Chain A
């Protein structure tokens, strides 16, 4: 099928997304047998410090307070240059965990217990050293608005398994630095956009009607009659028929979405698992639980955000990095570990890929801003992302940063490589998952992208 006829087919079939996705949605991009069917992205907005969490750097303790050795050259950060700043060692304690012995700091004790489930990639890097550029890069592979995000590409490539729910759901804590475009569909058709869900009975914008359900049915019946009459006077018309169908779909979504977000049936034990018994972690925990409920119902991509887009409440430790991260860890650590436990016990972890990370890591030096002697600046040149489930072999560390944690050193993973490998885990060939725009075929990985990482993630 050509793109056009495929799109027409999608559009005329109701919402576009849905089980019929299975027919021909791979867009000729099917590569190897997928090990993951869906994704939960845990997005730590602001940029967690890799050297205080998953990437210990003993040398920093020796250099503490000194200028970085000249051998590391120079580098631009947001608030200064490497050479003008002093090394700041981590105050966290690192310990080996699990059988694999992966080192995790005491900042994240619950995730540490999952060491054997996770694959820590310590050598990620990209080129954007401000939040919004970095958030666009990490989500869409491009530093500005206009490109589809990873979730949109996945939905475009694989479709959704539940036609009564959006296939790409975003669960926010508050605002987003780079604006809603960061989970947008870019130049892909609107059916592939990310939909924000809020907890509670009214999760989607405009979902709830002020009418009773019977009254709404009454209106839809009358509307349906008038629309059918209009259609029959004009002969077959795919777009008009699709529009009629979209009202029935919206009506079903009004039932399906609140059902998905209604956690009243979850046990006390489950809530505890997600840290929902604690006021500090209840909010993020609730969203992680919601993420599980959504993937259980066939949603393809769920992104859970930590941080509301403001310096102090994001993982954005410019001022007192340690204090900032302690607060963020208290909100998220238990829930993240709980999510892995819960997914596993329900047999979902096998084919659900969980990705944890922020838009970048943080500098091994103090922040260059005035009065920020205990802060760390943004570091896109080397940082950590970890993955679990979806065929990823846990208990492994991939790649490394240099001795001070500044730049990716061994087995560097560019953002294009990371995306290519995520697509590969889902059975999609990143070079073939394309969409025509502005005179050429665009893809998530632009002109780059290597997939060795996917092989290593699977193999261990």
Chain B
């Protein structure tokens, strides 16, 4: 933005008489983002000839006649066509300059400049600003932020106390409260690098991947079922969930993480030599694990019905793939260009289908995760499955005379039998290839029956050029289109990938991103509040080997992060997990098939087929972290839904934080919070015995890592005189301090 502004300023000051340069500067800054290289509506302004010719709407400029020129009418909003779209209307002075230039014959010397939208330009490492009060600066991040505050003559907030910081960091990185012991240890740690060590310990815990993996799953619209009437169960979706968690825990470089999800099968193909028929060598195992990343494209929301096949299915599946790539990796609303050219960003419908063609020839496939030997020996587990099959038959036709209760009992047994039966063999649903690769056409209005021009695979024309896509000569070889997409996304020329991800990391720590529309870095999105800081972080990220954990360290060791601030509401998952953690019931087991927790009779009423809710037989499993609960698209768990769980229809870059009465009802009255309050009370009693004051202190320490102050102690003791400890524990779950983290 700033650079464009300078261009304008330069033009205005130095060449008032040269109307051509002035006009060109206006067109470049306000119009050519779309009507340049991107050729939106087939209109390209870069050359005089094509400018005069116009686009789909006919001639844009009639030299010598500004009044009749469509361009002038459009920028003056005189007709139906109002340009530029959105908020960037030309000033009266700018429109007048264009008109004057056209009246004088619209003459210019062609130049080869193609400036564009800020986020479409590669980030350039900015100089770290100099701050007057250097004492405040602990990292370059502080310099960027405090320089702006100084410029605005503001004053930063004071630093938060250590207890607050200990809690903030734990909730940020784990989505769980820290133990009182950990907080005490940090508060008392007088060594110079106490904070850094505390942050590092948090980053090393597997709880970290469960928290940040959850953000990623939101972003890629993760769920365990397809949604719609059939709500088809994706048997292996959980493997992708576990892949994501372990990627974060292992600090997998982000560019590798991206490459694996887009094209692991094309970048790290499995060789077909004999090695590994008995036992898979480590390298092959590793490649299989990478390939689970491509499950990303097998867990979308689709009406899986027998009427949904062929082109109809393909059109939806590929649109979901393109939209998800656009939202999650590029922070762009590519989906807008499915039916027509994007109205605000330089993304043509043709671009959209070029991207779509990158997924042509890719199909879902269930592959074994073991050696050939594993596959063959798996047959010995058949008898166990046969038992489950027999139960299934009992529950089915032959169970016609059963009462609903008997039926439910058989179904429960069936569920349990399936859970006990070992996997026939471990498999994953991943991307594979089909041949021949189907042609890709622009779909007019996005309708699968309405095929327009055929397009070749390619990338967004307003961004950097991608690698050449070599098509194989024969059907014996697979195309490597997704590999090309992965390379284009992770190329050093890509201006978006790093910016979009560091912005997400920033948002995870501060609630708001530097760009407050994390999935829209286009013209309808918000401009960055600190553009230089965003670029600096993006370059640090890419140059530093794409380490996400390193970005956490960078941000968390800044002063800015440690300032006092207003509280942030826990999201649904963190709230449920925190209640379990404080009560002491939390089961930290990791991984595996999504757990189905029990629901009350009234909760289950919302399900279409309540009998298809095979609650896990082991109650300890019900207390696992929320990320390990089955996510059913047709029925969000009511406790999570009350606190704004995502609907999994499309990428969710940020959870809503509404405040509505049903949340109060859920925390005050639900079976879940009552049960947890009972467990919490028993825990407190075990530690504190029967002394009310001691009980109070213990409960406060477990929940808030501090002792109650006088007002709180008085209120709570008074309450305890009339009520049980269980009730007080329930009250604690309901406090603002429990739900909002400072």
Q: When chains A and B are docked, how far (Å) is the Cα of A140 from the Cα of B75?
A: 35
Cα(A230)–Cα(B739), bound, Å? 12
Tell me the A389-430 residues at the B interface (CB within 8 Å).
Answer: none
Asked if A225 is an interface residue, CB under 8 A from chain B, the answer is yes
B348 within 8 A of A: no
* Chain A positions within 8 Å of B128 at CB level: none
Contact A145:B227 (CB < 8 A) given known A11-B659, A226-B715: yes
Say yes or no: A145-B658 contact (C-beta < 8 A), given A130-B305, A133-B228.
Answer: no
Judge whether A374 is part of the interface by a CB distance below 8 angstroms. no
Chain A residues in 8 Å Cβ range of B344: 439-440
Chain A's nearest CB lies how many Å from the CB of B220?
Answer: 15
Do A246 and B606 touch across chains, with their CB atoms under 8 A apart?
no
| Chain A residues, CB < 8 A from B213 | none
- Contact bitstring A178-206, B, C-beta under 8 A = 1, else 0: 11110010100111000110100010111
The 8 A CB mask of A227-248 against B (1 = contact, 0 = none) is 1011100100101101110110
Binary A-proximity of B707-742 (CB < 8 A = 1, otherwise 0): 000011001101100110001001100111101101
Q: Are A243 and B635 in contact (CB under 8 A)?
A: no
Known: A145-B227, A210-B669. A247 touches B303 (CB 8 A): no
**Do A223 and B734 touch across chains, with their CB atoms under 8 A apart?**
yes
In the complex formed, the residue of A with least CB distance to B524 is: A439
Contact between chains at B736 and A132 (CB < 8 Å): no
Q: Are A206 and B662 in touch, CB under 8 angstroms?
A: yes
Does B567 touch A at the CB level, under 8 Å?
yes
Contacts of B602 in A (CB 8 A): 198, 202, 205
**B634 interface residue (CB < 8 Å to A):** yes
Q: What's the Cα separation between A229 and B636 when bound, in Å?
A: 35
Q: Is B490 an interface residue (CB 8 A)?
A: no
Q: How many angstroms from the CA of A205 to the CA of B740 in the assembled complex?
A: 24
- The distance in angstroms between the C-alpha atoms of A131 and B608, with both chains bound, is 13
Interface size on A, residues (CB 8 A): 70
Instruction: Kindly state whether residue A222 has any CB partner on chain B within 8 Å.
Output: yes
A357 / chain B contacts, CB cutoff of 8 Å: none
* 8 Å CB contact of A439 from B517, B609, B664: B517
Residue of B nearest to A216 (CB): B668
Contacting pair B664 A250 (CB below 8 A): yes
Chain A 236-266 residues near chain B, CB threshold 8 A: 237, 239-240, 242-244, 246-247, 249-250, 253-254
Query: In the bound complex, do residue B524 and residue A440 qualify as a contact, i.e. CB atoms below 8 Å apart?
Result: yes
- Taking a contact as CB atoms under 8 Å apart, the answer to whether B609 and A130 are in contact is no
In the assembled complex, the Cα of A215 lies from the Cα of B730 at a distance in Å of 13
- Check A181/B674 contact, CB under 8 A, given A175-B607, A249-B661: no
At the interface with chain A, which of B137-145, B422-430, B466-474, B643-651?
B643-651
Are B634's CB and A215's CB within 8 A? no
Q: List 4 additional contacts besides A133-B228, A191-B658, A246-B664; criterion CB under 8 Å.
A: A132-B303, A179-B635, A205-B603, A438-B650
Q: How far is the CA of A235 from the CA of B633 in the complex (A)?
A: 40
Q: Are B649 and A144 in contact (CB under 8 A)?
A: yes
| Distance between Cα atoms of A216 and B668 in the complex (Å) | 9
A237/B661 contact (C-beta < 8 A), A206-B670, A226-B715 known? no
Name the A residues within 8 Å of B716 (CB-CB).
222, 226
- Cα A218 to Cα B548 in complex, Å, equals 47
B interface residues with partner A (beta carbon < 8 Å): 227-229, 231, 301, 303, 305, 307-308, 327, 333, 335-336, 343-345, 517, 519-520, 522, 524-525, 566-567, 569, 602-603, 605-610, 633-636, 638, 644, 647-650, 656-666, 668-670, 674, 711-712, 715-716, 718-719, 722-723, 727, 730-731, 734-737, 739-740, 742
CA distance A198 to B603 in the complex (A): 11
Which residues of B have CB within 8 Å of A227?
735-736
State the Cβ distance, B356 to closest chain A Cβ, in Å: 18
Residues of A within 8 A of B666 (CB): 205-206
CB-CB under 8 A from A327, the residues of chain B are none
- Chain B residue contacts of A205, Cβ below 8 A: 602-603, 638, 662, 665-666
> Is A219 an interface position by the 8 A CB rule?
yes
A-B contact pairs, 22 of them (CB 8 A): A16-B659, A130-B228, A146-B650, A175-B607, A179-B608, A190-B644, A205-B662, A205-B665, A205-B666, A207-B665, A215-B723, A219-B731, A222-B715, A222-B719, A229-B712, A239-B566, A239-B659, A242-B659, A243-B739, A247-B668, A438-B650, A439-B333
Q: Across the interface, do B307 and A130 meet the contact criterion of CB distance under 8 Å?
A: yes
Contact digits for A296-320, partner B, Cβ 8 Å, 1 yes 0 no: 0000000000000110000000000
Do A207 and B669 form a contact, CB below 8 Å, given A133-B303, A179-B635, A439-B333? Answer: yes
With the chains together, A206 CA to B601 CA distance in Å? Answer: 11
Nearest residue (CB) in B for A224 is B715
In the complex, A78 Cα to B230 Cα: how many Å?
Answer: 14
Q: For A11, give its contact among B635, B658, B727 (CB under 8 Å).
A: B658
Interface residue A124 (Cβ < 8 Å from any Cβ of B): no
CB closest residue in chain A, given B650: A146
A227 CA to B738 CA, complexed, in Å: 10
Min CB gap A197→B, angstroms = 11
**A218 and B719: CB pair below 8 A?**
yes
Closest residue to A207 on the B side, CB-wise? B665
Cα–Cα distance between A428 and B308 once the two chains are bound (Å): 36
Q: Can you list, as one digit per residue, whether each of A123-144 has a CB less than 8 Å from chain B (1) or not (0)? A: 0000001111100000000001
Q: Are A189 and B605 in contact (CB under 8 A)?
A: no
State how many angstroms separate the Cβ of B227 from the closest Cβ of chain A: 6
State whether B608 touches A190 (Cβ < 8 A). Answer: no
- Is A273 at the interface (CB under 8 A from chain B)? no
Please give me the 8 A-B residue pairs with the lowest Cβ-Cβ distance, nearest first.
A146-B649, A179-B634, A175-B608, A439-B333, A190-B658, A250-B664, A132-B228, A206-B665
**Which A positions have Cβ atoms within 8 angstroms of B?**
11, 15-16, 76, 78, 129-133, 144-146, 172, 174-181, 184, 186, 189-191, 195-196, 198, 202, 204-211, 215-216, 218-219, 222-223, 225-227, 229-231, 234, 237, 239-240, 242-244, 246-247, 249-250, 253-254, 309-310, 436, 438-440
Docked complex Cα distance between A362 and B335 (Å): 33
Chain A residues with CB under 8 A of B606: 172, 175-176, 179-180, 196
B605 touches A198 (CB 8 A): yes
Within the assembled complex, what's the spacing in Å between the Cα atoms of A222 and B718?
Answer: 9
Q: Which of B633, B647, B664, B727 contacts A186 (CB 8 A)?
A: B647
* Whole-angstrom CA separation of A132 from B723 in the bound complex: 49
**Given A196-B606, A243-B659, A249-B664, A209-B669 contact (CB < 8 Å):** yes
Closest B residue by C-beta to A77:
B307
Partner of B647, one of A16, A184, A240, A253: A184
**Which of A178, A186, A242 has the largest count of B CB atoms less than 10 A from its CB?**
A178
Shortest CB distance B578–A (Å): 16
Residue of A nearest to B659 (CB): A242
Instruction: Report how far A180 CA is from B647 CA in the complex, Å.
Output: 11
Q: Could you tell me if A250 and B608 are in contact, using CB atoms closer than 8 angstroms? A: no
Q: Report A-chain residues with C-beta under 8 Å of the C-beta of B647.
A: 145-146, 181, 184, 186
CB nearest neighbor in A for B230: A132
The answer on a CB contact under 8 Å between A440 and B343 is yes
Beyond A226-B715, A250-B664, whether A440 also contacts B734 by CB under 8 A is: no
Q: How many angstroms between the C-alpha atoms of A219 and B729 in the bound complex?
A: 11
Complexed CA–CA distance, A180 and B638 (Å): 11
- Expressed in whole angstroms, the Cα–Cα distance for A222 and B722 within the complex equals 11
Min CB distance, A311 to chain B, in Å? 11
How far apart are the CA atoms of A382 and B123 in the complex, in Å?
Answer: 54
User: Closest CB of chain B to A169's CB: distance in Å?
Assistant: 13
Q: Tell me the minimal C-beta distance from A65 to chain B in angstroms.
A: 26
**Given the complex of chains A and B, what is the CA–CA distance between A243 and B719 in angstroms?**
21
B740 touches A239 (CB 8 A): yes
Using Cβ atoms and an 8 Å threshold, which residues of chain B touch A175? Answer: 605-610
Report the separation of the CA atoms of residues A132 and B305 in the bound assembly, to the nearest whole angstrom.
Answer: 10
Q: Which residues of B contact A230 (CB under 8 A)?
A: 735-737
- Most chain B beta-carbon neighbours within 10 Å: one of A178, A206, A246, A436: A206
Check A250–B520 contact: CB distance below 8 A. Answer: no
Chain A residue at minimal CB-CB distance from B653: A438
